[in-house]
Structure 1
Amino acid sequence: MRFWRILMLTGVGLAAFAVPNLRAEERPNFVVILCDDLGWGDLASYGHPHIKTPNLDRLAVEGMRLTSFYSAAPVCSPSRVGLLTGRNPNRAGVYDWIPHVEQRNQSGKASRALVHMRKEEVTLPQVLQKAGYATALSGKWHCNADFNTAGQPQPGEAGFDHWFATQNNAAPSHENPVNYVRNGNEVGPLEGYSCQLAAREAIDWIEALPKEKPFFLYLAFHEPHEPVASPPELVKGYEGIARNEDEAEYFANVENMDRAVGELMATLDRLKLAENTVVVFSSDNGPETLNRYRASNRSYGTPGPLRGMKLWTTEAGCRVPGIVRWPAKIKPGQVSDEAVSSLDFLPSFASLAGASLPEGLALDGADMMAALNGGKVAREKPLFWIYFNALNEQRVAMREGDWKILAKLNGGKLPTVSNVTEGSAAKVRQAVLTDFSLFEIAKDQGEERDLAQEQPDKLKEMQGKLEAAYRELTGSMFVWPDVD
């Protein structure tokens, strides 16, 4: 532990440079806490009737709860790439979850073993690192197939001074994982639950930093993604409340994650860092569907009032919990329904840090700070999703202001695509958008009333913007080579 702390502290200063016009004490720290498969309705502050989340409830009371917070995609890997780059993940060539490279010989996954967040992408930790911030990842990475090798860029090459991570899930489960890697070195078997292990690594890292050093922490929990494992005493607390032991396991899993958040927040308080630290809590996508695959028998997440689940382009696929706390600037106890996205982190944090962005960098996110002050986000581009492997037939969706539009591709006949390669790119680009649905989403979060027939003028306007966004994005998306 002492050895890696020394390495981390020695290396941090190498990329630092002074940022003009901002004193060190004026630049906030940033903490992004990301859950895996947590549904919009899985927290007490979002209406769950049973799950106990006192630390996140406190975070919401002390900050702002965002009821229209969106992930960059309805599935993990592209969502994470979008968060880190501020760009639609299709633009970066990440279209679906990334299997480990060892799965390359499984049917349909050969080209997916090539997929990774390429070194050409500019990332949030890189931007902040160049502005003098210390940066760390603790938890789930899932931005490449070839993990912890020289074959593809690793977290360190994406701008993290320190990283403690797994490629995808904690294995064999959240309890006593054996697959964590720290700065390129396999850690081996660990005792405890993954969320606490990730939080404690983050705490150790923060405690080792010089007090004057601003930092960016990306704490990416595995919870409550399967394979779920939870402390028995927490599971027991839901006996007689949950419908069965599997549901009790899920409830306890979310509560255990909340405990890990509490440990981190207590550390920020103890070190007197809380006042000027921006803490954002969210999820990579909506909740998993119960029993969708063999090992998902504990996937009892709830979308609340939203339609669909994970892997859908309807609201429940991408609309997730969002909580932001920054005592120095955000008035506590607020609730905002302004549309905010994880794509907004990079431009927002860069602005607050006084960091420079490369000239010509095409971002899809916007500065979200106006929303955190009760205002509107000024977006040049609507929020836009294309998920070619969606479970619902309308695989294209867009939200602009109070409205949302969805569409099928070729009448729903375009085959599902988990990765866009040279062999499939033309079909994707030439696809025709059809079967449009229109919702006034600000008033109809459950997407219950399709207004396509009642609002022809609005439909025409939104349809034109959707088609333009589709052509622009598919025209600029990165395409992978085919692999036999």
Structure 2
Amino acid sequence: MPARNFAVVFTLFLLNLGGISSAAEAKSSSRSSGPLNVVFILADDLGWSDTTLYGTTKFYRTPNLERLAARGVTFNRAYANSPLCSPTRASILTGQTPARHGSTAPQHHTGEVRLKASVGPGAPAGNKAIETQSVTRLDTQLPTLGKLIHTAGYKTGHFGKWHLGPEPYSPIQQGFDVDVPHHPGPGPAGSFVAPWKFANFNANYPGEHLEDRMAEEATSWMKSVADEPFFMNYWQFSVHAPFDAKASLIERYRGLVDPNDPQRSPTYAAMVHSFDDAIGTLLDAIDNAGIADQTVIILTSDNGGNMYNEVDGTTPTSNSPLRGGKASMFEGGIRVPCVVVWPGLTTAGTRSDEIIQTSDFYPTLLNQLGIAIPDDHPVDGTDITAALQGGKLDREAIFTFFPHSPPVPDWLPPSMSVHQGDYKLIRQFYQGENGQHDYLLFNLAEDIGETNNLAEQMPEKVKQLDTLIDQHIAETNAVIPVPNPQFDPTKYRPEQIGVGKIRNESAAPKPRKLGKPVAGWQAGGTNKVQQADKALVIRSTGNDPYIIAHHPGTFTGGPFTIRLKMKSDSSGYGQVFYNQPFSAEQSIQFEVDHDGQWHEYALKVPVETINALRLDPTRETGTIEVQSIRVENARSDILRSWDFAKD
């Protein structure tokens, strides 16, 4: 019987795929004779410890994910291809690692179209390496899963986050018949709770939750194509910023907070809850349609849990016992939850310790569906059918290529890692003596928290694993970092590597010379500020640009809300400092939509007095336009307003 006649809902529930219903929990004795359905569910930023699958949380609730796990196999060592979202998403759709396809950073919503990776133009004098420049669009010439499966006769639909490029690089150009809400940005537009700010996607009622609506849209489409084979990308927006949720759920989890538990954000717990509810909605629809035995479901996440933003006075989550989180090369940034339900292949309620990576789903799905992979398309992923059946994989290693160093806790310089068996080696490009690389070697079976670097004790193991890295670089023709010819040893700060540039730093960078006031604000860092017709324009050359309010006055009677309206084509998080002396403890970090569109941000400042204001709108190069900045008190009275469109 051809594999195409197998039903597969490939619910790459990127992290929390709440299983189907109890009716489908037993292993299917044989594959269905009906046409194959595929549902690929992907979670956004859901960490390995954010679900109840691995015994790492007492705070979060994921019963629907447990439903899913009861029907298939749970992978204990599943890895995203990158610690950031867009590169992993490109790997899912192409079967290639970021080293080969060139998408290494989530810049796919920015205005610049770059289809080939390249070495960056330079680096600060304190950096030993020059980072690479990421691809910014998923090339439409690539034979993506959507295209190949659509060509094989399937109905195809994409629901949720994309972040691989706007038109003409949207899901519609990558093989999908429908794309809802057809949003190119890095996260939800404005909020999870209506009103939203999508271009052409409105709420059905006030206060509607985005995941409730997306589950409704996905299941409605599934019903509309029930008589034909279908492939569904169900890529949730959860649990990415902005951090908001149903008020009733926040209050429920507020009463369950243990202040001694590193997972203690009731808002984030409520977001996980709604994520899991959406999984339940999808599973119920599959069961009610009678297609559970024709459905392959795969759940995973695009990267680890977020440890660098702040919500409810703490980090969004904790990835403990793993080290690091999103945007980090440590396990917390790349090890993710994964469940696969595949009728005829998986056994209900089982677990696997095999190492798998998200790029593996490309060859596995296509091979099982009987769809040929083009001969001229090199694939880095491995067919994991043997692991799905409870066996061992014949693979040498997996690789993670991350030639960037975003300033998050547990950050590292531009790096590449290899996993082989119990060992993990991280190569830090050109961080050693005399232009050599530096290395971190861990035995994850004995040291899952990556606290004991074995590199000096085991030089032969380092050499053996580093040779594999060299081989993968050569095989993929990767564009790797290069030594920085402008490196100045006096500005090098090796003591900061791995310990966190943000949260573990007691103070913000020392102020540099400020520019002359422009519309009440002064430029600091590497940027220029000027007054335009309708905005304050900040042109950044990178390296932590910021603007400081010139004599803003002192505000009392907090807490306060700082409201910003701005647009940006840069990248990285934003940060507002609200009291002198400026320090990380007196600041609010926030996710910035760098899509070149106007966005409003409301930042809650939980203090009684504000005596200064500093805005860091980006960490990279680009142009930022600020239309207004306002300070409001708890009664929403405007205490100070800078309306640059009028000034």
- Match of 2:270, SS state, is helix
What's the CA shift for 1:467?
2.3
| Corresponding residue for residue 272 of structure 2 | 254
Kept in 2, the 8 Å contact 1:131–1:354? The answer is no
C-alpha contact (below 8 Å) 2:325/2:332 kept by paired residues: yes
Matched with 2:236 is 221
**Cα deviation 1:111-138 (Å, max 9, x = unaligned):** 9898100112221111211222221110
CA shift, 1:30, in A, is 2.1
Show the 5 A alignment for 1:317-332: 317-332=333-348
Which residue number corresponds to residue 461 of structure 1?
A: 464
Name the counterpart of 2:250: 235
Residues 437, 112 of structure 1: alpha-carbon distance in 2 compared, 3 angstrom cutoff? closer
Q: Would you say 1:283 and 2:292 are equivalent positions?
A: no
Following the alignment from structure 1 to structure 2, what is the Cα–Cα distance between the partners of residues 199 and 433?
Answer: 50
Match of 2:137 among 108, 116, 120: 116
Aligned: 1:304 with 2:320: yes
State how far apart, in whole Å, the 2-side matches of 1:259 and 1:396 are.
36
Equivalent residue for 2:283, pick from 265, 268, 285: 265
Separation in 1, partners of 2:244, 2:264: 10
- Taking the aligned partners of 2:359 and 2:471, their CA distance within structure 1 comes to 20
| Partner Cα distance (1:358, 1:157) in 2 | 18
What is the rounded CA distance, in whole Å, between the counterparts of 2:450 and 2:340 in structure 1? 26
Residue 346 (structure 1) aligned with residue 333 (structure 2) = no
**Residue in structure 2 matched with residue 127 of structure 1 by the alignment:** 148
Measure, in 2, the Cα distance between the counterparts of 1:32 and 1:359: 24
Question: Aligned residue for 2:220?
Answer: 204
The farther-off stretch of 401-410 and 382-391 is 382-391
Partner residue, 1:29? 37
Name the SS for the 2:338 alignment partner. Answer: strand
Question: Does the 8 Å CA contact 1:290/1:296 hold for their aligned counterparts?
Answer: no
Deviations 1:215-263 (A, max 9, x none): 2111111111111221122112112322589811110110111000000
Contact 1:36 1:285 in 2 (8 A): yes
Aligned residues: 429
> What amino acid does structure 2 have at the position aligned with 1:238?
Y
Q: State the Cα deviation string for residues 302-357 of structure 1 (Å, max 9, x = none).
A: 21311111111111111111111234431111111111111011100001111011
- Larger helix share, 1 or 2: 1
Tell me the equivalent position of 1:403. 423
Q: Distance in 1 between matches of 2:103 and 2:392?
A: 29
Give the Cα–Cα distance (whole angstroms) in 2 for the partners of residues 291 and 323 of structure 1: 27
What amino acid maps onto 1:31 in structure 2? V
Identity of aligned residues (%): 30
Alignment of 1:446 onto 2:452:
no
Question: Retained in 2: the 8 A contact 1:226–1:296?
Answer: no
Q: 1:357 is matched with which residue?
A: 373
By how many angstroms is 1:178 displaced? Answer: 3.4
Q: 1:369 to 1:98 in 2, by over 3 A?
A: same
Instruction: Please give the alpha-carbon distance, in whole angstroms, between the structure 1 residues aligned to 2:622 and 2:242.
Output: 30
Offset of residue 382 of structure 1: 3.1
Q: Which of 188, 191, 195 is the equivalent residue of 1:173?
A: 191
Please tell me whether the aligned partners of residues 47 and 305 of structure 2 are also in contact (alpha carbons under 8 angstroms): yes
The correspondence for 2:160, drawn from 117, 139, 146, is 139
8 Å contact kept, 1:35–1:282: yes
Equivalences for residues 10-159 of structure 1 within 5 A: 22-23=4-5, 25=33, 28-47=36-55, 48-98=57-107, 100-101=109-110, 115-144=136-165, 147=166, 149=167, 152-159=168-175
In structure 1, what is the equivalent of residue 329 of structure 2?
313
Partner of 1:428: none
Q: Once the two structures are superposed, what CA deviation does each residue of 1:382-419 show, in whole Å capped at 9, x if it has no partner?
A: 33323323522362111123321111111179xxxxxx
Is this contact kept in 1: 2:85–2:106, CA < 8 A?
yes
User: Residues 454 and 335 of structure 1: is their aligned pair in 2 closer, same or farther, counting only changes over 3 Å?
Assistant: same
Structure 1 residue aligned with 2:440:
437
Matched residue type, 1:333: G
**1:187 alignment partner, one of 193, 197, 201:** 201
> Secondary structure at the residue paired with 1:338?
strand
CA distance in 1, matches of 2:134, 2:308: 27
Does the residue aligned with 1:238 lie in a helix, a strand or coil? Answer: helix
Shift of 1:75: 0.5
User: Residues 225 and 299 of structure 1 are in contact (CA less than 8 Å); yes or no, is this contact kept in structure 2?
Assistant: no
Q: Report the Cα offset of residue 99 of structure 1.
A: 5.6
Whole-Å separation in 2 of the counterparts to 1:27 and 1:399:
37
Contact 1:383–1:400 at 8 Å: present in 2 too? no
1:425 is aligned to: none
Report Cα offsets for 1:283-319 as digits up to 9, x if no partner. 1101112436xx7967522213111111111111111
Matched residue type, 1:37: D
Whole-angstrom CA distance in 2 between matches of 1:243 and 1:412:
42
Q: With the length of structure 2 as denominator, give the TM-score of the two structures.
A: 0.61
RMSD: 3.1
Moved more, 446-455 or 118-127: 446-455
Report the residue type matching 1:130 in the other structure: T
Asked if the contact 2:109–2:136 (Cα under 8 Å) also holds between the matched residues in 1, the reply is no
Name 1:417's counterpart in structure 2.
none
Which fold has the larger relative contact order, with Cα–Cα distance below 8 Å and residues 6 or more apart in sequence?
1
The equivalences for 1:375-394 within 5 A come to 375-379=391-395, 382-390=398-406, 391-393=411-413
Q: Distance in 2 between matches of 1:163 and 1:385?
A: 29
Q: Is the 8 A contact 2:403 2:414 kept in 1?
A: no
**Counterpart of 2:612?**
none
Cα distance, 1:377 vs. partner?
2.1
Partner residue, 2:607 = none
SS of equivalent residue, structure 1 residue 389: coil
Deviation track 1:352-374 (CA, whole Å, cap 9, x = no partner) reads 11101111311111101111111
**C-alpha distance in 2, partners of 1:177/1:88?**
37
CA change 1:433–1:73 in 2 (3 A) is farther
- Code of the residue aligned with 1:50 in structure 2: it is F
Counterparts of 1:126 and 1:350, CA distance in 2: 11
CA distance in 2, matches of 1:209, 1:54: 28
Select between 322-331 and 378-387 the one with higher mean Cα deviation.
378-387
Deviations 1:55-91 (A, max 9, x none): 0111112211111111111001111111111111242
